Structure 1
Amino acid sequence: MEKGEPRACRDVIKDNISETCTCQKNFTVYESFEKNVYLYYGLDNFYQNHRRYVKSRDDKQLLGKDDTAVSNDCSPFGTDGEGMVYAPCGAIANSMFNDTLKLFEIKLGGQAEELNLIKTGIAWPSDRKIKFNNPPGSLNSTGAFKNNVKPPYWTKNVYELDKQDPSNNGYKNEDLIVWMRSAAFPTFRKLYRKIDHNMTGFKFSFPKGQYYLEVEYNYPVDSFGGKKRMILSTTSFLGGKNNFLGIAYITVGSVDQLNINQNTPYSD
């Protein structure tokens, strides 16, 4: 590949997992869909139902009851080389999906406007209320998590998952809670965000028109031969309508080929 050519994000991340890569995919919604509309991410060929993987967690830790010792089920993602406990521990948490997805509407004049996406209310209420709680103390490295370090594959600490909203931070973070509910099959989708229908033009529906998906690509899938997808649907995780926005069912494998804003030496 000649220097200066754009590279697929999957290749950038494969070469350097700490590299930043952003890609974009345009799509068309041909008919408006009544609210409410939900944004999912999907993974293919990811076996969250593997026996050892499903057990690789510590529910006592996730309830905030003990930060100094963890279940042997978390091994080899229980403690680091110095004996510090990973928060959260285990293979499930360590492999948490961490791409950032944004949606933009392309207006008639060609300008793009980012859509408001709601990040709370995406987890099962029973999970959030009963199964997850933060340890006592401030959500920082000297308070509630003073005896912990971030999992090896994470780029931030658990108390940094949502610093703007303390009620959605730490073990109470809904992205974490959604991920920790293991899928039964190797091809699955998980709720990522809800479309904010208080936006102008979106009060009653998700209007037809031109859009694009922007992906901050952090989550590698080549290691397990997988694919990533984005799905817009009028079906929530609790059921309801079953109308999929078929045109907005995007395989992120194709997004891999569109690299318009890479922070790499090969960017345009």
Structure 2
Amino acid sequence: MNDAKGKPGPLARRPDNSAFKQQRLPAWSPMLSASSVLPFFYLTALLCLVLGVWLLLTVQSTREVKLDYTDTESCHHCFEMRKNVSNAATSCTCKVTLSIATPLKGDVFFYYGLRNFHQNLRRYMDSRDDGQMVGRLSNLKSPSTYCEPFTRGQGGLPIAPCGAVANSIFNDTFKVTYENTRGVTVSVPLLRGGLTWYTDKNIKFRNPRSGNLTLAQVFEGSAQPPYWQRSVSTLNPLDSNNGFINDDLIVWMREAAFPDFKKLYGVLNRGRKPFSKGLPAGNYTVHINYNFPVQYFRGRKEVVLTTLTWFGGQNHFLPIAYLVTSSLILLTAVILTVVWLKFGKKGKNMEE
């Protein structure tokens, strides 16, 4: 080991005599005092208060109408029927009424909601084959072991799509009608497409392809999930080529973070009268094809009609969080101010 002159010695590993390596760079070390810190506390509290009030007013400007239809009087027979798994293939319909006192102006979104359904369980979330969902034929013929026990169906055929997430898809369907002032019933037009993110529809979910075969022919050697009433190639009777890029399937496959959630079902088509400005006030009837059972997890089902703002729907979490944070910071600032006025100035006067 050599020193700075190329000779061995104890100074061979000494760093260069530079400002950076000898830590002589100029630095600013702020001297914090009560007179400089307390205004920052009050300013932060004011900023959080303004943001909280602003977001709260924005959220409250949205209109939302909810209706729990799980076991209402008209749907009670369907609720009881779905308790027996042997009746899963038997259709059951019911209807519920909604009364809207004031019009829902602008774009109106139709959601279905579930309560006490835990989509955030790790084993449930892992029970899917993303390779299958992007259209890989090898995964279609041999699904991932993560999908167990929803990997093979009757006759040992591979299930498409496999896994617990796809198998538990919400399959109630809805049709909404409106009774106008003349007593005439009008069907409310709902747009059932364009409900998903661009990346989901064009990147994360793709249909398998094999030469010039149609989608139904590609899925011929596969089985539908056990709880499904139709195959993946016929999920939407109005679209013979949707398969894995079915909007309802994609919306369901994006798991919710909390046990109580709602997912988009449709958007009001404002191209027809009398819905060009939104939903007019009046009585609405929701006709339900009741399929999804909730007794096994003690859940509830609901329909939600809501308007949206730039901030989203009626979610009070962030405004309340800002208001609570503002209150805590303001309380801390007041306590520090009292302590400083009582002890800080007293100590300063004693030193003088």
Counterpart for residue 5 of structure 2: none
Ranked by relative contact order (alpha carbons within 8 Å, sequence separation 6 or more), the top structure is 1
Counterpart for residue 264 of structure 1: none
Give the Cα–Cα distance (whole angstroms) in 1 for the partners of residues 123 and 92 of structure 2.
32
Shift of 1:107: 2.1
1:171 equivalent to 2:240? Answer no
Is residue 106–residue 112 contact of structure 1 (8 Å, CA) maintained in 2?
yes
Is residue 13–residue 21 contact of structure 1 (8 Å, CA) maintained in 2?
no
1:161 equivalent to 2:232? Answer no
Give the Cα–Cα distance (whole angstroms) in 2 for the partners of residues 6 and 205 of structure 1.
28
- Runs of 5+ unmatched residues, structure 2: 1-73, 316-352
Shift of 1:6: 9.0
| Residue number among 74, 88, 109 corresponding to 1:38 in the alignment | 109
In the alignment, residue 12 of structure 1 is paired with which amino acid? M
In the alignment, residue 189 of structure 2 is paired with which amino acid? N
Deviations 1:131-176 (A, max 9, x none): 0011113121xx2112211000000000001232245x10010000
Counterpart for residue 53 of structure 1: 124
1:98 equivalent to 2:141? Answer no
Is residue 13–residue 19 contact of structure 1 (8 Å, CA) maintained in 2?
no
| TM-score relative to the length of structure 1 | 0.83
Q: Which stretch has the larger CA shift, 120-129 or 174-183?
A: 120-129
Which has the higher Rg, Structure 1 or Structure 2? 2
Counterpart for residue 134 of structure 2: 63
- Runs of 5+ unmatched residues, structure 1: 245-268
In the alignment, residue 220 of structure 1 is paired with which amino acid? P
1:223 equivalent to 2:296? Answer yes
| TM-score relative to the length of structure 2 | 0.64
1:83 equivalent to 2:152? Answer no
1:188 equivalent to 2:236? Answer no
Counterpart for residue 220 of structure 2: 146
Is residue 234–residue 240 contact of structure 2 (8 Å, CA) maintained in 1?
no
Cα RMSD for the two superposed structures: 1.9
Shift of 1:202: 1.1
1:8 equivalent to 2:81? Answer no
Per residue, is there more helix in 1 or in 2?
2
Is residue 178–residue 185 contact of structure 2 (8 Å, CA) maintained in 1?
yes
In the alignment, residue 139 of structure 1 is paired with which amino acid? L
In the alignment, residue 195 of structure 1 is paired with which amino acid? L
Give the Cα–Cα distance (whole angstroms) in 2 for the partners of residues 80 and 26 of structure 1.
39
Number of corresponding residues? 235
- Map 1:10-29 onto structure 2 (within 5 A): 10-15=79-84, 16-29=87-100
In the alignment, residue 162 of structure 1 is paired with which amino acid? N
Is residue 154–residue 223 contact of structure 2 (8 Å, CA) maintained in 1?
no
Shift of 1:27: 1.3
Give the Cα–Cα distance (whole angstroms) in 2 for the partners of residues 144 and 6 of structure 1.
38
Shift of 1:243: 5.8
Give the Cα–Cα distance (whole angstroms) in 1 for the partners of residues 183 and 266 of structure 2.
25
- Map 1:206-217 onto structure 2 (within 5 A): 206-217=279-290
